[in-house]
Chains A and B, each alone.
Chain A
Amino acid sequence: MSTELVEPRTWRWGKWVIPFAVLPFLALLAYGFRTDPRAIPSPLIGRPAPPFALAAFDGGRVSLEAMRGKIVVLNFWASWCYPACYEEAPVLERNWQAYRDKGVMVVGIDIQDREEAALKFIRQFGLSFPNAPDPEGKVSVDYGVYGVPETFFIDRNGKIRKKHVGAVTEELFRSEVERMLKDAT
């Protein structure tokens, strides 16, 4: 029997302490995926939507006041915002066509943009809902817009029900709007 075999018991098991010490650390990092460090809930949810009145690209006027009683999907976008704004533009247009007769308004507000680029964007996607630039950036400040695209869902009483950051998807648009339509009836 060689002396090597009389290894102290503590060491035989103790040496596995280091690999196992790694586990809680890994668990903590994995936990990190479940949280979003940027998810700071908007204090505007449930509050009245800040009023605005802007000159639209087509020469008309867009004001929140005038849309009272309708459901408003307020979308902040910019022509330089690849790819999210390009992904959601067809979705917004399609759903605007689908819901416009049910008392739903889609409004686009173009921020931090150049006019010709913005007009080109509107033409490219054939956007027919009202779109307006926010030249002083006042509206985006009122709504606490952090980046583009951001979309606010405003109910018939003019209250903000949901804020969505990133491209609006078909499912999201439908579920939010349907929910607000149901609530009203």
Chain B
Amino acid sequence: MTPEIGYAMTAVSLGLALYGSGAAALGARAVRPGLIQSAQRAALAIFVLITLSMGLLVYAFLTFDFSVKYVANNTNLGTPFYYRITALWGALEGSIVLWSWMLALYTLIVIVRYRTRRPEFYPWTLSVMLGILAFFLLVMTLPAPPFQRLSPVPPDGRGLNPLLEDTGMITHPVALYLGFTGFTVPFAFAMAALITGRTGDEWITITRRWTIVAWYFLSLGLLIGGWWSYHVLGWGGYWSWDPVENAAFMPWLTGTAFLHSVMIQERRRMLKLWNLTLIILTFGLTLFGTFLTRSGILSSVHSFTQGAIGAFFLAFIALVLLTAFGLVAIRGDRLRAQGELDSMVSRESAFLLNNLFLVAAAFTVFFGTVFPLLSEAVRGVKVSVGAPFFNLVNIPLFLSLLFLMGIGPLIAWRRASLENLKRNFLWPIGVGIAAAAILRLLGVASGLTLLAMGLAVFVTVIMALDFYRATRARLRTGERLLPAMGGLLHRQNRRYGGFVVHLGILVIALGVAGSQAWSVQTEATLNAGETLEFSGYRVRFDRLSASEESNHFKVTGTFTVSNGQARPAVMQPAKKFYPQEQTPIAYVDYLMGLREDFYLVLGDFARDGSQATIKVQVNRMVTWIWIGGLVLTLGAALAILPDPKKA
């Protein structure tokens, strides 16, 4: 019975969403508050219904109800407890449930926050959000029903994709979807602004914090994805320009551009058309990301699921883009800039360049991702562009962005005077060059690495100098040090939150630059008792052991690793054999460190345990990437604190 109830609840939610979307729009046009209230009640009911059906699905997982196809496909009797809950979003159908639930939740928050406060935008925003929600409910009803029955009922399920049995995979999709769905809110407000013709900067002020929240979750999702790739896939990397990664990276790039360009509109009334275009693109790209991963039009190492939903998504993307850009065209006459660019040496132009580079990067990634499709359509040949293409084009763009990260926040609006430039940038440039020179003397040969590190130092010094000057100014008024700094962070949370986020990005950039430049790896076949020396480490192969786990068979190698200083560590990389998988899954063991990680992967082995082939990597500075993620979290938290000046 459970599946039927779940299906019925989905269908009812779909009806309610369609009704609510229409009622809110009609209520706004005819100014009938009753209709808008009715739409609100519909949204509340949808949230309750989706929550319940999600609960039913979890219940089906926990009770191993293999009569539900989705459960049978994503668990088996051996699946551990936690993964039975997270198997909910282990594949397409459940992911859509989670997505709809988040969207319904965001819709509720919008209702609670703006019901009385923004009467001019609110009903339209509600209508757009419910319309988008209706699409996802439609997907849940027709092409990807999570409650589909399976007959005959199998005695055991297929099991979760073993690669997903990992803590990273518990959190990664949640963060990513919170980011994806989060961009719906600014998009919906943008649409409301276009529909009502209030294309000023109100919608931007309202959605500023929403955008930061969405952007932050998207960043977190990307970072956790990298972390998962690093410690699960066993190739020692965190990013491979795979279509699925690109799918999440593109909205991040345009979202980042949007986050910056809205500041110019707020300040200078410029870029109205551009901002609308960016948020439409960002929202479109979140849909495109799902389309890409789920439609099966491109081949990827981890497009986990596919289905007939590609056509639905394509139709919806078409609807969204054509409607949204159509509205932009209709409102075109209201979107002309009221301000003008005064000088090329100004904060406006720094931000414009930032936007230009970010969008160029997004376009590059887009182009590289759909290139196989393009080449097949045009030339009939399937050709993929790999990491070399993406790196070649994007590295210069990203380095330029790092540079602008230093310039943007400090250069004067309108027209920077020579005095302004000298005061803010002379010292940092000097220190940056000095840092690069010192690194060069220490033996760093790669120009790219020197440039990246020099830029990171340059930007850090700029921000430190600014914070130092601001603190000093407060100290002069008689404040003490800590209250002065705290007060600064609190009163100018938006500015310094941004600084901290930038600092996080810098730390990530250092991690990426360092790991690309200095990581080393080797492979070796060792007899039992034999020792390999590599890059200051001694690895001794002790033994192999086998064990039967709840849902797989595991062969574990035991190795003793010492690097001359610390006590020797015992490391146990393994290979896991899942009955449902063709190839064994590597279980990586590594010693994490600030300077470097020692990363050990078990390859082939002799069945009697006499011999094992290992892949050894010394990955430098990778930990910095994760630390950068933490810094970024702090910064984003600071930036979304309520504005003290308004409160």
Residues of A bordering B, CB below 8 Å: 4, 7, 11, 15-16, 18-19, 22, 26, 28-33, 35-38, 78, 80-83, 86, 112-114, 117, 120, 146-147
For A120, the chain B residues whose CB sits under 8 A away are 155
A2: min CB distance to chain B, Å: 12
A-contacting 9-mer, from B296-304, B385-393, B589-597:
B296-304
Q: Is the CB of B332 within 8 A of A15?
A: yes
Closest 5 CB pairs of A and B: A32-B297, A37-B299, A15-B332, A19-B325, A15-B329
Q: Is the CB of B376 within 8 A of A35?
A: yes
A-contacting 9-mer, from B163-171, B231-239, B316-324:
B316-324
| B198 is an interface residue with CB less than 8 A from chain A | no
Q: Is the CB of B579 within 8 A of A19?
A: no
Chain A to chain B contacts (Cβ below 8 Å), 30 pairs: A4-B333, A7-B333, A11-B332, A11-B333, A15-B328, A19-B321, A19-B326, A19-B328, A22-B318, A22-B325, A26-B317, A29-B373, A30-B314, A31-B373, A32-B295, A32-B297, A32-B373, A33-B311, A37-B297, A37-B298, A38-B299, A80-B159, A82-B150, A82-B157, A83-B72, A86-B152, A86-B154, A112-B580, A112-B582, A146-B582
Name A31's closest neighbour in chain B (CB-CB).
B377
Partner of A83, one of B150, B295, B299, B581: B150
Q: Is the CB of A29 within 8 A of B297?
A: yes
Name A16's closest neighbour in chain B (CB-CB).
B329
| B291 is an interface residue with CB less than 8 A from chain A | yes
For A29, the chain B residues whose CB sits under 8 A away are 291, 297, 314, 317, 370, 373
Q: Is the CB of A82 within 8 A of B158?
A: yes
Q: Is the CB of A22 within 8 A of B322?
A: yes
Inter-chain CA distance A122–B269, complex, in Å, is: 73
| B558 is an interface residue with CB less than 8 A from chain A | no
Inter-chain CA distance A32–B318, complex, in Å, is: 15
| B162 is an interface residue with CB less than 8 A from chain A | no
SS class, residues of chain B in contact with chain A: helix
Inter-chain CA distance A148–B592, complex, in Å, is: 39
Q: Is the CB of B321 within 8 A of A26?
A: yes
| B69 is an interface residue with CB less than 8 A from chain A | yes
Inter-chain CA distance A22–B319, complex, in Å, is: 11
Name B152's closest neighbour in chain A (CB-CB).
A86
For B277, the chain A residues whose CB sits under 8 A away are 18
Q: Is the CB of B377 within 8 A of A28?
A: yes
For A112, the chain B residues whose CB sits under 8 A away are 579-582
Inter-chain CA distance A83–B69, complex, in Å, is: 9
A28 in contact with B374 given A18-B329, A19-B322 (CB within 8 Å):
yes
For A30, the chain B residues whose CB sits under 8 A away are 314
B291: min CB distance to chain A, Å: 7
| 11 additional contacts (CB under 8 A) given A15-B328, A37-B382 | A30-B314, A31-B377, A33-B314, A36-B296, A80-B159, A82-B154, A82-B157, A83-B150, A112-B579, A112-B582, A120-B155
Inter-chain CA distance A146–B581, complex, in Å, is: 11
Inter-chain CA distance A112–B578, complex, in Å, is: 9
Q: Is the CB of B370 within 8 A of A28?
A: yes
For B322, the chain A residues whose CB sits under 8 A away are 19, 22
Q: Is the CB of A113 within 8 A of B311?
A: no
Q: Is the CB of A19 within 8 A of B329?
A: yes
For A117, the chain B residues whose CB sits under 8 A away are 579
| B563 is an interface residue with CB less than 8 A from chain A | no
| B15 is an interface residue with CB less than 8 A from chain A | no
For B318, the chain A residues whose CB sits under 8 A away are 22, 26
Inter-chain CA distance A78–B580, complex, in Å, is: 8
A22 in contact with B321 given A28-B370, A82-B72, A82-B157 (CB within 8 Å):
yes
Inter-chain CA distance A16–B373, complex, in Å, is: 27
Inter-chain CA distance A24–B327, complex, in Å, is: 19
Name B150's closest neighbour in chain A (CB-CB).
A83
Inter-chain CA distance A83–B333, complex, in Å, is: 56
Inter-chain CA distance A15–B334, complex, in Å, is: 12
Q: Is the CB of A37 within 8 A of B321?
A: no
For A15, the chain B residues whose CB sits under 8 A away are 328-329, 332
Name B366's closest neighbour in chain A (CB-CB).
A25
Q: Is the CB of B580 within 8 A of A80?
A: yes
Name A18's closest neighbour in chain B (CB-CB).
B325
Inter-chain CA distance A133–B159, complex, in Å, is: 22
Inter-chain CA distance A26–B287, complex, in Å, is: 13
For A11, the chain B residues whose CB sits under 8 A away are 332-333
For B150, the chain A residues whose CB sits under 8 A away are 82-83
Inter-chain CA distance A28–B366, complex, in Å, is: 13
Q: Is the CB of B579 within 8 A of A113?
A: yes
Q: Is the CB of A33 within 8 A of B328?
A: no
For A80, the chain B residues whose CB sits under 8 A away are 156, 158-159, 579-580
| B603 is an interface residue with CB less than 8 A from chain A | no
For A114, the chain B residues whose CB sits under 8 A away are 579
Inter-chain CA distance A114–B298, complex, in Å, is: 34
Name B373's closest neighbour in chain A (CB-CB).
A32
Interface members, chain B 300-356 (any A CB < 8 Å): 310-311, 314, 317-318, 321-322, 325-326, 328-329, 332-333
Name B299's closest neighbour in chain A (CB-CB).
A37
For B328, the chain A residues whose CB sits under 8 A away are 15, 18-19
For A83, the chain B residues whose CB sits under 8 A away are 69, 72, 150, 154
Name A4's closest neighbour in chain B (CB-CB).
B333
A16: min CB distance to chain B, Å: 5
A141: min CB distance to chain B, Å: 11
Name B324's closest neighbour in chain A (CB-CB).
A19
Name B328's closest neighbour in chain A (CB-CB).
A18
Interface members, chain B 580-625 (any A CB < 8 Å): 580-582
Q: Is the CB of A26 within 8 A of B297?
A: no
| B200 is an interface residue with CB less than 8 A from chain A | no
Q: Is the CB of A33 within 8 A of B310?
A: yes
Inter-chain CA distance A8–B574, complex, in Å, is: 70
| B372 is an interface residue with CB less than 8 A from chain A | yes
Name B582's closest neighbour in chain A (CB-CB).
A112
Inter-chain CA distance A11–B333, complex, in Å, is: 9
Most buried by B among A7, A11, A19, A78: A19
B341: min CB distance to chain A, Å: 19
For B296, the chain A residues whose CB sits under 8 A away are 36-38
Interface members, chain B 244-263 (any A CB < 8 Å): none
